[in-house]
Amino acid sequence: MKRSTAVDLGSVAWRKSSYSNDTGGDCLEVADHLPGLTPVRDSKNPHGPALLFTADAWNPFIAFLAN
């Protein structure tokens, strides 16, 4: 993982992850269309930090969440 300060995320379109729940808690947002990277942030803190997952790290992260 890399800190998002290395990539400009100011113009990306964020969407709520399908892995987030419907009760308003535990909401993740992800941004698409960044080749090789998947930015993730807390939807309750949209101006806070974001994590950048490489393609190699994203699949194990999702597999962990699904368990």
12-50 pLDDT, tens per residue? 899 887 766 666 666 888 898 888 899 999 888 888 889
Give the number of C-alpha atoms closer than 13 A to the C-alpha of residue 57, restricted to the C-beta side: 11
In 1-67, where do the E strands start and end? Answer: 2-3, 14-16, 28-31, 37-42, 50-54
* Residue 53 clears pLDDT 80, i.e. is over it: yes
Q: Is the pTM of this model over 0.85?
A: no
* Residue 5 clears pLDDT 70, i.e. is over it: no
Give the number of C-alpha atoms closer than 13 A to the C-alpha of residue 61, restricted to the C-beta side: 17
